[in-house]
């Protein structure tokens, strides 16, 4: 096994300690091996058929929007500051997953 030294912000260090203290992991090494293994599986896992369909739909929608912009059909007077402020408000009030 290879030893790796990392520096964590205090908040993440406390999270790791709480996870270990909860009994879910024997020690911090086990925590990190578990987290990295799960992340590796997530990254390497192929998309399910439903996810592939959603991705294809999203790509089609993005292409449609790009085509509209190319034809000059975009919104010329969009107030980006107001739009982004509203998106930030919506994001701040959303429920965590």
Asked if residue 14 and residue 34 are part of one domain, the reply reads yes
Average pLDDT over residues 74-95: 86
The answer as to whether 83 is a domain residue is yes
The total number of structural domains that make up the chain: 2
Q: Are residues 29 and 55 in the same domain?
A: no
Q: For residue 5, is it within any domain?
A: no
Residue 4 lies in a domain: no
Residue 28 lies in a domain: yes
Mapped onto helix, strand or coil, the DSSP state of residue 23 is coil
Whether 97 shows a pLDDT value over 70: the answer reads no
Q: What is the pLDDT of residues 26-77, one digit of tens each?
A: 999 999 999 999 999 988 888 888 888 899 999 999 999 999 989 988 877 7
User: How many of the other CB atoms lie within 10 Å of CB of 35?
Assistant: 13
**pTM for the full model?**
0.49
Check residues 45 and 96 and name the one with the higher pLDDT.
45
- Domain of 15, in residue numbers: 10-44
């Amino acid at each position: 096994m290879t030893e790796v030294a990392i520096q964590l912000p205090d908040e993440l260090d406390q999270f790791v300690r709480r996870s270990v203290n909860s009994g879910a992991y024997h020690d911090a090494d086990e925590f990190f091996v578990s987290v990295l293994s799960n992340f590796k599986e997530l990254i390497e896992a192929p998309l399910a058929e439903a996810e592939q369909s959603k991705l294809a739909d999203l790509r089609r929608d993005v292409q449609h929007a790009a085509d509209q912009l190319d034809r000059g059909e975009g919104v010329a007077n969009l107030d980006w500051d107001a739009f982004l402020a509203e998106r930030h408000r919506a994001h701040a009030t959303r429920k965590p997953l």
